[in-house]
Structure 1
């Protein structure tokens, strides 16, 4: 299944409490259950002012629907074309 990176501009998000992150995660998971198994949240990276999420979905539209239903921004969605790491150099 295609994998996507979603950039969410959320000023100050890095200062959110653990409880806030838990609440946001629960809301996201509830919508994922509603949308069914075709969209999967892999993980997210929280920085000072943005969250970068990795999702699997058949297309970008399903990711946009998830963002709309959760009320989270999806400022940029890019399909992953290839994954590289230090072993790629070998």
Structure 2
């Protein structure tokens, strides 16, 4: 299933409490369950006034529908083209 990077502009995101993050996660889980299509939230990162999420879905529209149902922004949604890290350096060329 394709992966998508989602950028969410949320003023004060870095100051959200654990309780607030838990409430957002509950909304996200409920939105996923209501979609009726394969959908998976992998992880999210909070930095400054933004939240960056990695989700798996069949298409961008499913990602945007998840955001609508959850009541949170999806300002930028882009498909992940590839993934790499330090381990990639050891692979033969």
Scaled by the length of structure 1, what TM-score is found? Answer: 0.95
Give distance in 2, aligned partners of 1:36 and 1:54: 19
Taking only aligned residues, the RMSD between alpha carbons, in angstroms, comes to: 0.9
Q: Are residue 40 (structure 1) and residue 40 (structure 2) matched?
A: yes
SS at match of 1:24: helix
Task: Provide the residue aligned with 1:82 in structure 2.
Answer: 82
Aligned to 2:10: 10
- Runs of 4+ residues deviating >6 angstroms: none
Structure 2 residue ranges without an equivalent (≥5): none
**Rg bigger for which structure?**
2
Q: Deviation at 1:36?
A: 3.1
Deviations 1:39-58 (A, max 9, x none): 11000001120000000001
State the TM-score, normalized to the length of structure 2. 0.92
Structure 2 residue matching 1:52: 3-state secondary structure: strand
Q: For residue 25 of structure 1, what is the aligned residue in structure 2? A: 25
What is the number of residues matched between the two proteins? 90
User: Gapped runs of 5+ residues in structure 1?
Assistant: none
